[in-house]
Each structure stands twice: as C-alpha cells, then as structure tokens.
Chains A and B, each alone.
Chain A
Amino acid sequence: MRILIADDETVSLRLLEKTLKRAGYEVIAVSDGRKAAEELCRPDGARLALLDWVMPQLNGPAVCRAVRRIRSQRHVYLVLLTSKNSKEDIVEGLESGADDYLIKPFDPGELKARLHTGRRILELEDNLLEAREDMRYKATHDSLTSLLNRGTVLELLAAELPHKRRDNGSTAIVLGDLDHFKLVNDTYGHVIGDEVLREVARRLLGAVRSYDFVGRYGGEEFLLVLNNCCADKSMERAEEIRKAIGDTPVQTTQGSIEVTISLGIFDSLGSDTRTVEEVLCEVDSALYAAKSAGRNCCCMAADRRP
C-alpha cells in the first residue's frame, strides 16, 4: 500500500521512510505541506499519510483541512506525527481532520500497529463501497441479460424527454419484441431461451451508441432510447437493429437458431409534450402494427408516418 510521509526534518524523514519500506509500504516522501496536500488531493493519490505538524508552506493540520475540504468518495487516513504533545495540540490536530495522532519519537511497533488500524478502516470502506456498487448494479440491471432493467430504462426515458424538449432535440424510442420466442422456449427449453436472450442483448448493445439506453422491458421485449436521433434517421437505425438480430442465427449449445425481431418506433420531437406513458402507448401500437405486418420488420408510430 502507498503511504505519504511529510516532514521537513531529514532524520525523521529518513527514519520513517526506512521503517515503512521495511514494513512493506510504498513510500512517497515530501518535505513540505503544500506538496503533501497536492499529492493527497489527487484522485489517485496515497490514501494513508503520516504528517509532521511544523512544515514549510502548510502545516500538518492545514494539510488535514485541505484534504477534508475535497469531497472525495474515498477516505484518506491521516495521522499526525509530531513532537507537539500537549492535550490542546492533540485536540487541535484531531479536530483539523486527522484520524490519529502520534507523538515523536515514535516506537516502530506502535507506528506500524496504528497504520495497520488505518489500513483496516480503509479496507472496510472499500468493501462497503464495493458492496454498494454491487447493489446499485443489481438494482438497475437485468440479471439475465445485464441490460438495464425495466424500471431504470423508464427512469432514463423520463429524464431524457424534458431534456430533449429543452434542447429542442429529437429522441427515437424503439420497442422490440422477438418473434415467436415462445416457440424457442417450447422447442429447446428455457435454458436455451435464456442463451438466445443474452445473445440478443449483446447484439442490441453492439447496434447502438454508447450514449443510447437499452433495457429489457419484459420477457422478450426490449426498449431502446436512441438519444439525439433525428426523426429522418430513426427508421434507418431501427432497420440496423433489426438486421443485427435477424441476419445471423444465434449459436446456442443446442445448435443454431433463427431469431427475428419486430420493432415499433416513435420519434419524440422537441415540441412534443407527451408523457412517458403516452410515448409507451404510441410505441406499443407501432410494435403491434409491425407484428400485424408480418413480423421481422420496423413500423413507425401512426402519427409520425409520412
């Protein structure tokens, strides 16, 4: 683990550097407070620090305050190591944002034990952040396909519509439904059906841009929000998506399966004030029209047709 040590006194700096390297730390040594603050405030800066109190440019407590002012997602564990040893100094040091306070001269065993405590706290924080990120992902994504789940893609659509109105832009909303998918499940079983859904999801993501949204809307239904997609391009984009699914059979563990998709399209233009529910109603009708037209095709919503 990387640790920053800041001390303008050379004997102390060398002693700390050697002690900590021997204990397995990767040491960054600086001799003034400004450099210490700069290093610690960098997003990839050291997360563990030993700071002297009296230093040029910025003293130890000022470094602590500077680090705490930066709203970083990850905690930086700060230890003041100083020969200032009055109760008032200790209180002032801790209130400046230090997590711990050690008095010089240090005992190597105690120093390492206190730093180990700091590492435990940082590891605990890392685990919590990882768990939170994991939960956030699970709450927003479909577990089978890893696409956005229904709730999330609808939330993103709801946020996009007023945004598009403000910018007088245009967004294409596309609802796709795999054709005769029940037959796949009935013929090959749900495990193979799941393989097909995962491959379809992969192809959908490959057919859109990084700033478009793709979500699993229902069993074999997918909702796509094509941001900043001009109205005269939306049919072309939907055709590309249809071909990405239907042009090449899906390879499964039980062989190759032909899969096609029908797509309904609705262009939400800048002046459009429809709600999410109304947009979904429009695009659903367009999808129904595509199904009625023989499937494996794209159909524009009724009031958007030329």
Chain B
Amino acid sequence: MTNSDAAALEKYVNMPELLARVENDRELLEDLLMLFREDFPLLRDDLHAAVGAGNPAEVQKVAHTLKGMLANLSINRAAQLAADIEAAARAGETLGIQQAIAAFDREETGLLAAVNTFMVSGER
C-alpha cells in the first residue's frame, strides 16, 4: 500500500486510536476492515430500506448497529452521523432522519472508497 492510500483512509479513521484498540495487530486490523467491507454495505442498504418503509424503530436499530461498528473501527465522524440518525429515529423526527441520512451518505461514499483502496493496495 502507498502512503497516499493510508493517508486517504486516515481522513476517516483515527488510525492511532484504532491501532491501540487492536493492540497493534495489523493482521487483525485488516481482518476487521475486510469484515467492514462485506457488512457495511448490507447494513447501509438495510438502513435505506427501513427509511423507505417508514419504520423508525428499524431505522433506530440499524443505525445503532452501524454506530457500534464504526466506533469500533474509530471511524468517528461516520459513527457520530449514525448516532444522529439513531437519535432522530428515536425521537420520531422524519425530517431529522432524512437530513441525518443525507449527511451520512455523503460521508460513507468517500469512506468506502478509501477502505477499498487501502485493502486492494494491501492485497497487491
């Protein structure tokens, strides 16, 4: 992987914090990012489906799971945005959910691209 790949990822991930959490185990770090790459899009799709179905309870639940996953990986800004969605869903604020989802979507597009690039360059 190149320095620029790592730097792109660090725009989203607090890498020192994450490395401390995995106790500097690089293999585990890659394993977790691999799981993230597989599961995050599924959860994101579930979130959109729940919003589309007008189901705030499901929105709250999925956003909570996303928040935990992102926080574990020290993807802190996206974790905060997921927390905003969860809070809006708990309060039953339809407009708040829409706004929070929009912010989350903007963040996650770049995030997924950065994780993918990081992982692909690592595989090379």
Residues of chain A at the chain B interface (Cβ within 8 Å): 8-12, 14-15, 18-19, 22, 52, 54, 82-84, 104-108
Contacts and interface: CB of A to CB of B under 8 A. Distances in A.
B65 A9 contact: yes
Contacts of B31: 14, 18
B69 A54 contact: no
Interface of B: 20-23, 25, 28, 31-32, 35-36, 38-39, 61, 64-65, 67-69, 71-74, 83
For the complex of A and B, the 7 pairs showing the least CB-CB separation, nearest first, are A105-B71, A83-B68, A105-B72, A10-B35, A11-B69, A18-B28, A11-B35
Contacts of A18: 22, 25, 28, 31
A84 B74 CA distance: 16
Contacts of B28: 14-15, 18
Which of B22, B35, B36, B68 is the most central at the interface, judged by chain A CB atoms within 10 Å of its CB? B68
Contacts of B61: 54
Contact of B71 (A10, A14, A83): A83
Contacts of B35: 10-11, 14
A19 B25 CA distance: 10
A10 B39 contact: yes
Contacts, number: 61
A8 B31 CA distance: 17
Tell me the dominant secondary structure on chain B's binding face: helix
A9 B28 CA distance: 16
B64 A108 contact: no
B23 A11 contact: no
Nearest to B71: A105
Nearest to A19: B23
Contacts of A14: 28, 31-32, 35
A298 B38 CA distance: 82
Contacts of B38: 10
Contacts of B20: 107-108
A106 B21 CA distance: 8
Contacts of B25: 18, 22
Given A10-B39, A11-B39, A104 B71 contact: yes
Contact of B72 (A8, A15, A22): A15
B45 to A, nearest CB: 16
A56 to B, nearest CB: 10
Contacts of A105: 21, 68, 71-72, 74
Nearest to B39: A10
Nearest to B23: A108
A9 B32 contact: no
14 contacts: A9-B69, A9-B72, A10-B39, A11-B32, A11-B73, A14-B35, A15-B28, A19-B23, A54-B64, A83-B67, A83-B68, A105-B21, A107-B21, A108-B20
Given A10-B39, A104-B72, A15 B21 contact: yes
Nearest to A81: B68
A19 B67 CA distance: 20
B28 to A, nearest CB: 5
Which of A10, A11, A19, A54 is the most central at the interface, judged by chain B CB atoms within 10 Å of its CB? A11
A54 B65 contact: yes
Given A11-B32, A54-B64, A108 B21 contact: yes
A19 B23 CA distance: 8
A104 B32 contact: no
Contacts of A8: 65
Contacts of A107: 20-21
Contacts of A82: 68
Contacts of A10: 35, 38-39
